[in-house]
Structure 1
Amino acid sequence: MISRIRQVASTLCVVMVLQSTSAIVHAQTPATSSTPDAIQQVVSTGLMNNYADGQFHPERFISRAELASILVNAFGLDKRAAATQENLAEVQDVPASHWAFNNIQTVLKTGIMRGYRGNMFFPNQRVNRAEAFAIFAQAYGVYQFPDDTVAEILTPYPDAASIPTWARKSLATALNEGFVNIDAQGNIKPLQPITRGDMAYALSRYLTKQQQPGV
């Protein structure tokens, strides 16, 4: 009988240890950018597309023109009042023949993205993660958090100090809403170029929130 009790107690201890370990592993697992489910979701909804070879290539970087097109499609920016203005934004390096001309006009008219000095947009330029998530938050709607709340949201991330000052409030919104994936150490990596996988993750989270309010 005593042997049986010891066996049961030993089994319970093992189960408790496994449950505890599982919880710790789950807590340390970072949000990832290129999960198959996220990619399938954004491709099936038409927010992003595979390449001609049928692959998504989540590791590839996103250009400003691509970001503009993704955001117009995701947030319906072309339906906003500012986008219907007849006057075109003057952009020296994006002619009417450019594949993303209309979408670039839309993000400029709505103020979601801005051009550079000399009326340049640099459509092929890579976008870093701070810029991309800040712009994503602008399209979504930036929460007007007070500075202490912004600091509270950003403080847990080891590399939060490298977030540009102008992007802090917008990035706090994106983080608060769960749109930003992080690495295994909890870093945001704000100055690294954003990848297609990163954007797929953000869009997937956004779609989930639309389908399940409160998530």
Structure 2
Amino acid sequence: ATDGSANLWDNDYPFGGNFWSDYEGEDNNYGPLQNILGYSDGLGDARYTKWGITDRYPLMKPYGGSRDIGIKTVTASKTYIPYNYNQTITLNIKIINYGQQTETFNCTAYYDSMLIGELGISLPSRGLKPNSMIVRIPWETTGLTFGNYTVTANITILLGEEDIVDNIYKIWVKVVVPGNVNGDNIVDMSDVGVVLRNYGQSEP
């Protein structure tokens, strides 16, 4: 970091600045202006400003040889599952290796307390930049009754891992009446409206 005439405490992009334990920003973007969506580059999207100093590229994780993996997001291919349709949906789990060595670990998914699936993973390091991958676990939903279900993904806690808060991630899905698109357990014209507004769309 440098303390120049403008009191900027960073080494410009893409090298980044410092790690601040009280920084509460997110890392969803990349680029010199941190405004390009779609890739986490290990640098906070918002500047860190305190005590008259500015770090334009605060680090999300400290540099060093520490071991650290985390779950960034979990999404399901369907949030509302039609009852008795016996569908297999896919859980998409984005995992990041923040450390500086290849890590081998397990990723496990549950609904409530029931096992959905487990995969063994090897995720290489990219040095000072986080490396990510998306793990896909299929979920056979046959036999689920009406109601809300909590889906939990977790990854193995590494020996000596400093940050274990993001080793677990939870979302919810709901089993609904067939044809109930918006999840309110009533099939009516509002569901038709949702379908019409999204007719012809597909996954990017």
TM-score (norm 1): 0.21
Q: Which of the two has greater helix per residue?
A: 1
Give the structure-2-normalised TM-score.
0.22
